[in-house]
Amino acid sequence: MAQLERLQKRIAQAGVASRRKAEEMIVNGQVKVNGKIITKLGKKVSSDDIVYVDNKKINEESFEYYLLNKPAGYVSSNRSYPNQPSVIELIKTKTRIFSVGRLDQDTTGVLLLTNDGELTQKLTHPKHRIKRTYAAWVKGIVNEDEIEQLTKPIRFDGEIYFPQAARILKVDQKRQESLIEITIAEGKNHEIKKILDFIGHPVIKLNRDMFDGITIGNLKKGQHRALSEQEVEKIKR
């Protein structure tokens, strides 16, 4: 007997969308199984069932995983925006891929892209506490008491942020700017900029140096490479 799995998982494994997005597609009537529209969650399918999303048959795909050194000026989105190029345009593949989480348009550095929707959801959900390290040039001279604040829970605007570690890398007395390294493990929207604003040091320039142990290495801005099998196995664990 063919093994059954949830419909949204099948869609995610085909690289069409994340599991959460697949659930939205089902509820919105965009999914058919064997020619019948499915609108309720909980449907299970086997490998013998034929699944369509937006009237296109999905196939089990081989997954692709890329590391991009994101340059400034690019949005981390599959959607097209006027006069705003997407990071997707920088990856040479015919496969429909998407970014693992987002970096602000002006933020640079480590960005993973893939067509593996299930892994993307795991890597971006706050409960999995995936570590991300950033280097931030900020306004003002940061002191050790302020760095200490970035190692404890911070509550403001109805949210609680849990920075993991921080240290001063460089101080420019002439420009009255500081370069700090900060590690977080949740990746909430604009998290780095918000917590640095909170301690009185707005971000001037922000670069992500590490995501779940993956670093840029020798990649120049705008360059990308496929992740190695070892790197893929690591982030899956």
What one-character-per-residue DSSP string does 71-133 give?
PTT-BS-SS-BTTB-BGGGGS--SS--EESS---TT-EEEEEEES-HHHHHHHH-GGG---EE
Q: From the candidates 48, 54, 104, 106, which is the catalytic residue? A: 104
Pair (24, 78) in one structural domain: no
Pair (119, 163) in one structural domain: no
| Residue 212 among the catalytic residues | no
Pair (28, 100) in one structural domain: no
Residue 126 Cα distances to 80, 187, 214, angstroms: 27, 7, 18
CATH code, domain carrying 23: 3.10.290.10
Number of structural domains (the chain) is 3
The DSSP H or E segment spanning 67 is strand 65-70
Pair (108, 220) in one structural domain: yes
Residue 129 Cα distances to 61, 188, 191, angstroms: 28, 11, 14
Residue 140 confidence (pLDDT): 98
Pair (31, 84) in one structural domain: no
Pair (96, 118) in one structural domain: yes
Residue 224 domain boundaries: 65-126+215-236
Residue 80 confidence (pLDDT): 65
Among 188, 233, 191, CA closest to 212: 233
Residue 74 confidence (pLDDT): 95
- Which pTM value belongs to this model? 0.76
Pair (200, 230) in one structural domain: no
**Average pLDDT, 10 consecutive residues per value, the chain (237 residues):** 81 80 94 94 89 84 89 85 88 89 95 90 88 98 96 90 96 98 92 95 98 96 94 88
> Torsion-angle region of residue 129: left (phi > 0), alpha (psi -120 to 50) or beta?
left
Pair (157, 103) in one structural domain: no
Pair (122, 108) in one structural domain: yes
